[in-house]
Amino acid sequence: MEFKDYYTILGVAKTADDAQIKKAYRKLARKYHPDVSKEKDAEVRMKEINEAREVLSDVEKRAAYDSLGSGHQAGQNFNPPPGWDAGYEFSGSSGSNSHRGPEDFSDFFSSIFGNSSRAGGGRRSAGPQPMQGEDHHAKVLIGLADAYIGSARMITLRAAKLDEAGRVVNEERTLNVKIPKGVAAGQHIRLAGQGSAGYGGGQAGDLFLEIQFTPDPRYHVDGRDVTQTVSITPWEAMLGAAIEVPTPSGDVQVKVPPNSQTGRKLRLKARGIPGETPGDLYLQLKVVLPPADTDKARELYETMARELAFNPRDVTAQSSTHAK
């Protein structure tokens, strides 16, 4: 495992006092908080920054880390020497830094400060009292069509766990998860018992998968309602037509009413995302004009210009045509 230089991560000197560490942390937290940051690696950086603060703002942990740290470089291969932590007692509480789950810490941190800190500040078990394992969270991207028919997804999760010798090892596991028909973006699927193992014979935690749709420029999704743009020709728009439209639930025959303009919405009831109250599918019409790139096309447009007294900028003429 790699040695982590917490001082470099926060950009402070080894002699930095509490106030300097807090200031450096706040500046970086504002830049890298994954909920507000535009940086690509925000989540990874925030985890490092939090971890660095967790250690450096805690007198006991900082002393222990400093005793280990001399002679190590960031990124260097690192294994804590056996019995190194004799004489250090980690209370596991460091003021504001509670509410952390095991996924919030690196293997490096866990190997030094152990399982007690991984259970989150203040939640350290004093004895063999059974305690439920932590819940895990992950996001899953699915296509809109998957929400219509349901699908299965292979999900690979990486989590640190302790082996028989008490060492931290990375374990990868792959789950084949059924995505039920009718999921909406932002909904969760809960998989019971797929989180962290329990402590002292406690129950395992759960795994929560948050569903998000892969962005698709063809569709606009609002809850269970779906809007899709449909391109039509000027003659289909004006004369009316029966057209075939590919939709997330398959091809559909749709009647375009005569005198339709761009922007007109046709509602197909219950053809949105399925559910107890299924959503609707809206087809938004977009008239696409054929280019005047041949003599024939040019001639047709010239005929229209001559024969149709049409000025779209003349509001009064437009409304009088509608009134007829």
Partner 1 sequence: MTPFNPITGVLIDDAALTIDELAQACSVERLWIQQHVEDGFLECTVALAMHDADRWPDWRFASRQLIRARKLVAFERDFDANPEIAALLVDLLEEIAELKRRLG
Site for partner 1 in 99-128 (CB under 8 A): 99-101, 120, 123
Strand ranges (E), 257-316 = 265-268, 281-287
Half-sphere exposure for 32 (CA within 13 Å, toward CB): 18
Contacts of 69 (CB under 8 A, 6+ apart): 3, 5
Please choose, from the candidates 67, 69, 127, 122, the residue with its C-alpha nearest in 3D space to the C-alpha of residue 93.
122
Among 70, 77, 174, 316, binds partner 1 (CB under 8 A): 174
43 binds partner 1 (CB under 8 A): no
**Listed ranges 1-9, 64-72, 161-169, 173-181: which one lies at the site for partner 1 (CB under 8 A):** 173-181
Contacts of 220 (CB under 8 A, 6+ apart): 226, 227, 228
Number of H helices, E strands in the chain: 9, 11
Among 12, 183, 226, 281, binds partner 1 (CB under 8 A): 183
Instruction: Output the smallest distance, CB 218 to partner 1, in A.
Output: 10
222 binds partner 1 (CB under 8 A): yes
**Listed ranges 63-71, 75-83, 204-212, 247-255: which one lies at the site for partner 1 (CB under 8 A):** 204-212
Site for partner 1 in 247-306 (CB under 8 A): none
CA-to-CA dists, residue 5 to 168, 178, 213, 304, angstroms: 19, 41, 38, 75
Pick between residue 137 and residue 167 the one whose CB is nearest to partner 1: 137
Instruction: Output the smallest distance, CB 96 to partner 1, in A.
Output: 5
Q: For residue 254, give the H/E element and its range.
A: strand 250-256
208 binds partner 1 (CB under 8 A): yes
204 binds partner 1 (CB under 8 A): no
Among 206, 232, 273, 283, binds partner 1 (CB under 8 A): 206
Please report which residue ranges of the chain form alpha helices under DSSP H.
Answer: 6-10, 18-32, 42-56, 59-69, 107-118, 144-149, 234-239, 295-307, 315-323
**The dihedral formed by the CA atoms of 35, 37, 43 and 49, expressed in degrees to the nearest 10:** -110
In the shown chain, the binding pattern of residues 62 to 101 toward partner 1, with x for contact by CB under 8 A and - for none, equals ----------------------------------xxxxxx
| Interacting residue ranges for partner 1, rule: CB under 8 A | 26, 29-30, 33-36, 46, 50, 96-101, 120, 123, 132, 134-135, 137, 152, 154, 173-178, 180, 182-184, 186-192, 194, 205-210, 217, 220, 222
